[in-house]
Structure 1
Amino acid sequence: MTKQPPSGISYAGKVVLVTGAASGIGRAMALAFGRAGACVVIADTAVDGGHMTAALIVEAGGKALFVKTNVTVTTEVEALVDKAVSHYGRVDVAVNGAAIEEEHLPLADGEDAQFDRIMNVNVKGVWLCMRSELRQMLKQEGGGVILNIADAGGLVAVPNHAMYAASKHAVIGLTKTAAVEYAKSDVRINSLCPGAVKTPMLARMLERDPGRDKKIKAAHPMGRIADPAEVANAALWLCSDQASFVTGHQLAVDGGLTAM
């Protein structure tokens, strides 16, 4: 098993924006794009983590900028894209990964406030980011690529996580619709659907449900949980020119989970 970036893929001269990049999959993606030569714009509400991601890229010889951003606030999202453009000149790739997961209960036991929080970040946040990113990409030469981080739970049922699953199904709906709307505008839009990945989000879930890690591993035909770098490598390919005829696609990086 390799965690090295796919050979032949370079982002030299490209500007890549990644939301939710202070930790987990977002950080892994930001680091991978940085290693591939991109100028990386890192967005998150977690200031320390965001600065750490940027520092790791710079220490490795890359270029990075952290912008504290709440993706649920229109003005902050617009300021993020404006900052990326003013600093680096354009946005070639945007990875929308900011999300939350905070439920473990049957649907009938859910609360209004919890539903609103999840939908606000996971759906409205993606929509706001896509809107600002598209407006920039449509006016710049060469268009761009948008990658939304959905989830295997956006493709199948996730018992006791109905709100989260619904939010990720919605992300896929946004992805498909936008991909068709802008297919002739030199903008490709896809989603990535990871299975279980070793992230702080998964760690929090396992804290609420001790022993669940064995069940999670068993649910994946490959019998293990993914490393964030494995998801990042898939993103590198999907956002590259090697995937130039791929749009409106949901790429499952799930160890065979959704094949069952």
Structure 2
Amino acid sequence: MTQASLDGYAIITGAASGIGKETAFALAEAGAKGVLFADIQGDKASAAAEDCKALAIAPDFKSISFTVDISDAQAVEEMVDHAKEQFGRIDYCVNAAGIDSPMVPFTDTPNDTFDQVHNVNVRGTFFVTKAVARVMAAQEPLTTTTKRFGPRTLSRGSIVIVASAIAFGAVPGKTSYCTSKHAVLGLARSSAMDLNSAGVRVNLVSPSWVNTPMLDTDRDRLPPGTIDGIIKQHIPLGRAAEPDEVAAAIVYLCGPGSTYVTGANIMIDNGLTLGPK
């Protein structure tokens, strides 16, 4: 089916920077009617929401922000209630919020670091997905019309979870982050199965290294050039992905061109997980 524009409303977590911010911009450029920028960094989320208005093509585009700690279940419920109040419905949700862990040997992994990473990456994603899915399952599905195929009923909503290529393998010294992304993979697949009958789709994108503030933090932790040297060694293109290259896949999974897709993963790693280059 010819890809039509997106004309619904979205919640993006982790929208103050990186993949989340770029995805929100891409959705606005694709025709979304409104986006809620959700992030624990409220000031940055508000600034991004303001910048987004210049990119939107929908005539009455609505861009708002919400300060939220997604590891707090009550705060997540308040965020979702606010989005429903402002937009009337929620058509797309992108779980892009997440935190990294320092590179340390397994036996030196601090217990509180393990808990903190899982509280955000796993529990937070669970809270957001569950709260949004309840709203989506109760609303009427969208429809779209194309010249070639006429009207077609879409899903009641699309949820995309940003996982990681590391969810399909492991790297040394990243126990907390690695196990959290393996858990997110299971969360996405199990929720996709349970929500399918309700007309709610859940999919994943799994990028390798992406030029975001999170990658910059890793660069700062190690001697200069270490991370970029590793990337150049293992990635055929010799560089990290840009956030817009991940956002493009997310927009596809949100949109009408992926009506028949749920429980799927798009690997965005330039072939890294295929084996040595």
What TM-score do the two structures reach when normalised by structure 1?
0.94
Q: How does 1:133-172 map to 2 (within 5 A)?
A: 133-142=132-141, 143-172=156-185
* Matched position secondary structure for 1:59: coil
CA contact (8 A) 1:196 1:225 kept: yes
Q: Which amino acid aligns with 1:237?
A: Y
1:36 aligns with 2:49: no
Query: Does 1:217 pair with 2:211?
Result: no
Question: Which amino acid letter does the alignment assign opposite residue 98 of structure 2?
Answer: A
Q: Which runs of 4+ in 1 moved over 2 A?
A: 59-63
Name the % identity: 37
Q: What's 1:49 paired with?
A: 44
SS of the residue corresponding to residue 182 of structure 1 reads helix
* Residue aligning to 2:273: 258
Deviations 1:50-83 (A, max 9, x none): 0121011113344311011110111110011111
1:232 paired with 2:247, answer yes
Q: Is the 8 A contact 2:6 2:256 kept in 1?
A: no
Aligned partner of 2:145 in structure 1 is none
SS at match of 2:83: helix
Q: TM-score, normalised by structure 2?
A: 0.89
d(CA) in 1 for partners of 2:24, 2:232? 26
Distance in 1 separating the partners of 2:47 and 2:274: 36
Task: Return the letter of the residue paired with 1:252.
Answer: M
Ranges in structure 2 where 5+ consecutive residues have no aligned partner: 142-155
CA-atom RMSD in angstroms: 1.2
Match runs of 1:45-194 below 5 Å: 45-61=40-56, 62-142=61-141, 143-194=156-207
On the 8 A contact 2:95/2:161 being kept in 1, the answer is: yes
Q: CA deviation at 1:185?
A: 1.4
Determine which structure has more spread, i.e. the larger CA radius of gyration. Answer: 2
Rounded to whole Å, the distance in 2 between the matches of 1:247 and 1:218 is: 34
Q: Which moved more, 1:59-68 or 1:22-31?
A: 59-68
Distance 1:23 1:145 in 2: 22
Q: Distance in 2 between matches of 1:163 and 1:69?
A: 22
Provide the secondary structure at the position in 2 that maps to 1:226. Answer: coil
Gaps of 5+ in 1: 1-6
CA contact (8 A) 1:44 1:50 kept: yes
List per-residue Cα deviations over 1:208-247 (Å, max 9, x = no partner).
1122211123212232111100000011111111111111
Aligned positions, number: 253
Please give the per-residue CA displacement for 1:3-57, whole angstroms capped at 9, x wherever unaligned: xxxx944112x00110000001110101101111211111001022101210111
Which shows bigger deviation, 244-253 or 165-174? 244-253
